[in-house]
Amino acid sequence: MRGSRYIFKSEDYRDISAVKWIPDENIEIIGAVQICHGMAEHIGCYEEFAQFLNGKGFVVIGNDHRGHGKSLETDGDTGIFSEENGWEKTLNDMRKVTKQLMDQHRNLPIFLIAHSMGSLFARDYISKWGSDLSGVILSATPNYDMLTVNLFKFLAYMEVRFKGLRHRSTFFDNLNFKTFNKPYEPGAPTAYEWLSRDREKVDKYVADPLCGFVCTSSFFLDSATGAKKVSSNAIYKQIPEDLPIFLYYGEDDPVCLYGKTVKQVYEKYRKAGIKDLIMDNNPEGRHESLNEINREDIYNIFLDWMKIRIPQK
């Protein structure tokens, strides 16, 4: 079935758009999944995966982050979380979605699946509310050293100061993404071959007006603030040791430096004493594992991992 879209009010009274997918009546519900999407995409991009999980007995829910999808203050207001405290406000929106799941489906185990930028939010989220989850899957999670992230934050701050919060930052867009497609050039039909080997999925992304937009200077400042927070050693000590964590990445994903950043995060979780910690990769896979040519295999890998971690009645 297609998901049902609804609107809820954020803590600062902003309209946040979300989608909920519910299994058919003849399917026993065994768990719930909250999806946290990545940068310059939206929750609707996960429809196929959500429907797969519905068929296996999982309620699925996720919101469009501020400045993404349909969580816009104006029609053209893409690529900005908020004019103030955007990272924390976006994180609190996620928390509201979890509480909706907890209120509407009491006693169901809840799993968080987060991709790319969304995985940074998830890493912050589990340091605060990880005890409410039965597990978290981090897809293509980046990582940054403090020198890099401090420089990034300073440059973003200066751009906001001189060009404004809503300036479309082609500088940071190029800095982040310009080199990703070079292995497929010349001759690449789009600038997004690095996302997936599936031609149809890449073309769908390019054709989607709610995907691939250039974000604002404010967005990059908020992102640098969040990246610094979740890349610090201190945050790993705040995560419940018994929270199962699964890190997954594409072997040919330039965003994760071909697995380097994921391995760094894995090692930090290991040192923090996480008891149930697994890392795996998709050979020859690119950035969006859930949109890859072998995505059904990955769907089942994620499904099997969650089913094993559903508490026995």
Split into its structural domains, the chain has a count of: 1
Instruction: Write the CB contacts of 95 (distance below 8 Å, at least 6 apart in sequence).
Output: 125, 128, 129
Specify if 92 maps to a domain: yes
pLDDT of residue 118: 98
Specify if 188 maps to a domain: no
Specify if 212 maps to a domain: no
Mean pLDDT of the region 269-291: 98
Q: Which of the residue ranges 181-195, 265-279, 286-300 would you say has the lowest mean pLDDT?
A: 181-195
Do the Cβ atoms of 64 and 70 come closer than 8 Å? Answer: yes
Residue type, 36: C
pLDDT of residue 253: 97
Confidence of residue 265 (pLDDT cuts 50, 70, 90): very high
261 pLDDT exceeds 90? yes
Helical ranges in the chain per DSSP H: 47-55, 86-104, 117-129, 146-163, 170-177, 199-207, 217-231, 260-271, 295-308
276 pLDDT exceeds 70? yes
Mean pLDDT of the region 109-131: 98
Mean pLDDT of the region 80-89: 95
d(CA 27, CA 122): 29
313 pLDDT exceeds 80? no
43 pLDDT exceeds 90? yes
Mean pLDDT of the region 229-242: 95
Mean pLDDT of the region 297-301: 98
Specify if 73 maps to a domain: yes
Specify if 189 maps to a domain: no
pLDDT of residue 1: 59
Cα distances from 292 to residues 44, 252, 285, in angstroms, run 17, 12, 7
Mean pLDDT of the region 103-129: 97
Confidence of residue 131 (pLDDT cuts 50, 70, 90): very high
What CATH number should be reported for the domain holding residue 38?
Answer: 3.40.50.1820
pLDDT of residue 3: 87
Specify if 182 maps to a domain: no
Full domain range(s) for residue 60: 4-144+234-308
CA diameter of the chain = 58
Write out pLDDT tens, residues 183-214: 988 888 999 999 999 999 999 999 999 999 99
81 pLDDT exceeds 80? yes
pTM of the model: 0.97
Q: In what order do the strands lie in the sheet with 110-115?
A: 4-9, 15-21, 58-63, 31-36, 110-115, 135-139, 245-250, 277-282
Specify if 257 maps to a domain: yes
Question: 188 - beta bridge partners?
Answer: none
Specify if 165 maps to a domain: no
Mean pLDDT of the chain: 95
Do the Cβ atoms of 112 and 126 come closer than 8 Å? Answer: yes
Q: Which of the residue ranges 14-28, 32-46, 174-188, 231-245 would you say has the lowest mean pLDDT?
A: 174-188
